Chains A and B, each alone.
Chain A
Amino acid sequence: MKEIIAVIRMNKMNQTKQALAEAGVASFTARKVVGRGKGKVDYLLLRGAQSGCEEAISQLGPGPKLIPKRLLNIVVSDELAAPVVRTIIAVNQTGHPGDGKIFVAPILEAVRIRTGQRGDTAIDETAA
């Protein structure tokens, strides 16, 4: 089993939900988070400001702002991981910075609380 942790744009949520449902993965957890990426950091400017250069300090803002994003946690079987990642990329790709990141992490055990099923059967959506 794999956990897919995706940070995506707020306004892409509905399209992503729809695309995931069409790909056969309707279940996931989503939450609102804030974050920043690697962009908008000028290390030369930062170093200049640290060494006390007036010009650099005046250009330096309060640092990159934390931007609101949606965090999706999707747990799927090993075979479904690649198609889900492809689906999320296809829907969320605008080509501009800030499109987000996708992380794939291993999951050792899953339990469906209602029935007590474990492992892959616990996350199989086709099972009754």
Chain B
Amino acid sequence: MLMIRAIIRPEKSPEVLAALLEAGFPAVTKMDVYGRGRQRGMRVGEVTYDELPKELLMIVVHDDDKDFVVDVIAKTSRSGPEGAYGDGKIFVSPIEEVYTVRTGGRDDIPSAASAALTTES
């Protein structure tokens, strides 16, 4: 399984969440973050803002779904057809094990093996 972390514009997050829901990936965690990118923040007149507010979306998907989900996020969070500085970044990292607390079983392996693991512990 892979974890997709997307840093996007806060105003784009409802749109991205709706697109993910429609694409069949409803499960997502969202948090407010602050950061800067390669442009070293934003300069408005005399004032430099070097910690800009963004939103971080966290989605864990199967390996095969990665390209599709990344595509959905990238397409919907881009501002305008050309995109603009500050649209964000998407990072993908490996996840070794996934558990559902309600059942206590593992999500990332077939259910028979998962059941065996639960009874064993």
The residues of A with any CB-CB pair to B shorter than 8 Å are 2, 5-8, 31-39, 41, 43, 46, 63-64, 66, 69, 71, 85-86, 88-89, 92-106
Contact = CB atoms under 8 A, between A and B. Distances in A.
24 contacts: A7-B29, A35-B30, A46-B22, A63-B21, A64-B21, A69-B29, A71-B29, A71-B31, A85-B99, A86-B121, A93-B102, A93-B104, A96-B102, A97-B102, A99-B100, A101-B101, A103-B3, A103-B98, A103-B99, A104-B97, A104-B99, A105-B3, A105-B93, A106-B96
Interface residues of B, number: 28
A128 B65 CA distance: 45
Contacts of A102: 97-99, 101
Interface in B82-109: 93-102, 104, 107
Nearest to B56: A33
Given A95-B102, A99-B101, A99-B102, A66 B30 contact: yes
Contact of B99 (A41, A89, A97, A105): A89
Contact of A101 (B31, B60, B93, B94): B60
Contacts, number: 91
A64 B31 contact: no
A85 B97 contact: yes
B110 interface: no
A106 B2 CA distance: 11
Nearest to B60: A103
Contacts of B1: 103
Contacts of A32: 31
Contact of B96 (A63, A88, A104): A104
A34 B30 CA distance: 5
Given A63-B17, A105-B93, A36 B100 contact: no
A37 B21 contact: no
Most buried by B among A39, A63, A96: A63
Contacts of B29: 7, 33-35, 69, 71
A10 B26 CA distance: 21
Given A46-B22, A105-B95, 7 more contacts: A2-B96, A32-B31, A33-B31, A35-B58, A69-B29, A102-B101, A105-B3
